[in-house]
Amino acid sequence: MKFSFEVKNLGNIKHAQLKLGSFTVISGANSSGKSFVTRALYSFFSTINKDHVTGDAIKYVNQISELLRYAMYSTSTPSMSVVDLFNKTLYILDEIKDLIKSEFEACTYLEQSTRSVIVEKKIKDFEEVLLVFTKETANKKKYKNIYNNLDLVSANTKRLKSLLKNPQDLLVHKFNNGFSEALKENFQVPNLTDLHSNTIDLEDPISFDLGDLGIIKIHKETIHFNLSSGGIEKFQSLYNVVFIESPIYWKLRKPLSALRDNPMRRLRLLGRDADGLSGVPKYFYDLLDLLNQNIKANSDNQDLFELQNKIIHQLGGELDLSDSGDLTFKDLVSKKNIGINLTATGVANLGLLALLLKKNVISKGSFVFIDEPEVNLHPAWQKLMIETLYALSLNGINVVVASHSFDMMKYIENIMSDLNDDEIENHFAINHLSRTGQSLDQSLSSKQTLAKIQEDLGSPFFEMMLENEW
């Protein structure tokens, strides 16, 4: 996925024009806005990259089923005709649910629109049986509960039909609420205004101009989406979107999971006050949920399988998630399972990539955002990390790296040295941010921009050497 976009008034970013490609680098000095961009992009991508229509449609079907079952089981000695009608409605409901899953799941918004007519025909069958059921139980004291619940069933059925026919209202609601919550949780701020680069003048909104894909504006606490159908289609067609940051979260995985599952924590979140913020970003929990889904393994991509084994060989073992949810490091030599807390911190980031490949959490079409991948890594492992990320990008996994490591830039330069100019420009998107959060070197090639980044990152060391000479 390759496109250019413009960001204004986001954190330290005053005005930046950036590019995304198969292998994207966002670099610059500290406080230049690298992490703001990657976290915001992840929050947006992960919000859009969800099948909201299928989820809500299944929810309506389940509610209808519960209403029918409750009414039926609260009625003593119903007639055979009533029992038969009850069983028919449940049978058709199961068919509707199966159709929604088979026709909608794993489909984009536009694909769902073309397939909704198939489900609508089955809903019409359900309504015909429901009408007979309603007439059979009308004006009969014995069936008062059933009759009243059938009225609720009919209302929910109309909502289901409306959702499938016109999903736009649902998507607007889900996009707005989802993006707002994702930003607050991923940046750990109680209000969207805290993300504005100028908290004094909030009239000039935070904006993301995605070109042909659409525009997003955040004005104070309100988000305005203006996405094209093609834009929604592109983001929804992505495979899983993940964000990887500090390995320390994975060492504290169990207590952090317990924190999220705490009922009082959930109540505070619903209140949306500052106390509801846990200090743990949503992207960590998102990735944890993906790992727990037991996605069917994909054995088709031999290159990714070999890459997974290369990481395991280099680390001398692999991360493994047990059925009980324990994350351990399986040592290749001793064959022992070592608790993640007893391993080197750098093992977590590299080992996590191998685990994501093994579990098929990331595959062709994924987006992997990784903030400061150099943290806690020995120089040899930093090189392995860049080589791994580059290999992922060659296999259709979009990689976005935010880094201010001179060494990491050098490793990327080494990769570029084996490529011609066209290969570099087609594959890489190199972005250089100034200390004031503005784009630099936009007219330069990717290779030239990378050289400017190295010059920028290396200047403190060079200045220190000059001071020592004096």
**What are the CA-CA distances from residue 344 to residues 247, 249, 315, 325, 386 (Å)?**
10, 14, 10, 20, 19
- Cβ 376 vs Cβ 247: under 8 Å: yes
Cβ count within 10 A of residue 423: 11
Higher pLDDT, 198 or 155: 155
pLDDT at residue 460, as a whole number: 54
The answer to whether the 3-50+181-469 and 52-168 domains have the same CATH topology is no
Annotated domain spans of the chain: 3-50+181-469, 52-168
Give burial (CB, 10 Å; 0-12/13-18/19+) of 185.
buried
Task: Please give the Cα distance from 104 to 122 (Å, whole number).
Answer: 14
Q: What mean pLDDT is predicted for residues 239-262?
A: 80
* Domain topology for 3-50+181-469: Rossmann fold (3.40.50)
Q: Are 400 and 2 in contact (CB under 8 A)?
A: no
Q: What number is the average pLDDT over the span 61-82?
A: 92
Higher pLDDT, 252 or 56: 56
Better-predicted residue by pLDDT, 247 or 71: 71
Between 380 and 195, residue with greater pLDDT: 195
**How is the chain split among helix, strand and coil, in percent rounded to 5?**
60, 15, 25
Dist CA 304 CA 131 (whole Å): 54
Q: Which pLDDT does position 232 carry in this prediction? A: 87
pLDDT, tens digit (0-9, with 9 covering 90-100), for 15-59? 999 999 999 999 988 888 899 999 999 999 999 998 889 999 999
Interatomic CA distance for residues 397 and 407, integer angstroms: 23
DSSP-derived pairing of the beta strands 23-28 and 428-433 = parallel
Q: Which of 316-330, 362-376, 380-394, 396-410 is predicted with the least confidence, judged by mean pLDDT? A: 316-330
Q: Point out which residues pair with 63 in neighbouring strands.
A: none
Closest CA to 339 of 351, 350, 327: 327
- pLDDT at residue 85 above 50? yes
DSSP 8-state class, residue 332: T
Work out the pLDDT band at 298, boundaries 50, 70, 90. low
Tokens of 377: 């890594």
Pairing of strands 222-227, 367-371: unpaired
What digits encode the pLDDT tens for the residues 173-222?
Answer: 999 999 999 999 999 999 999 999 876 688 999 999 999 899 999 999 99
State mean pLDDT over 322-326: 72
CATH number of 52-168: 1.20.120
Cα 323 to chain center, whole Å?
24
Is residue 464 over pLDDT 50? Answer: no
Q: Please give the DSSP secondary-structure letter assigned to residue 197.
A: S
Give the position of tokens 């949920």. 289
Residue 124 contacts residue 98 (beta carbons within 8 Å): no
As a whole number of angstroms, the distance between CA 320 and CA 355 comes to 7
Of the pLDDT bands very low, low, confident and very high (cuts 50, 70, 90), residue 466 is very low
Give residue 58's pLDDT.
Answer: 95
Residues 264-289: what's their mean pLDDT?
70
Two tokens, residue 436: 């004031």
pLDDT given at position 463: 47
Apex 98 CA angle, 94 and 99, nearest 5: 115
Is the model's pLDDT at 453 over the cut of 90? yes
Arithmetic mean of pLDDT, 443-451: 95
Least confident of 242-246, 363-367, 394-398, 430-434: 242-246
- The closest alpha carbon to 249, from 215, 294, 198, 287, belongs to 287
pLDDT score at 274: 47
Average pLDDT over residues 226-231: 87
**Rounded Cα–Cα distance for residues 469 and 153 (Å):** 83
Which residue pairs from 420-423 have beta carbons closer than 8 angstroms and sit at least 24 positions apart in sequence? 421/445, 421/447
397-417 pLDDT, tens digit per residue, is 999 999 989 999 999 999 999
Mean pLDDT taken over the chain: 88
Q: Would you state the pLDDT for residue 268?
A: 53
The pLDDT score that the predictor gives to residue 435 is 87
Residue 276's pLDDT is what? 60
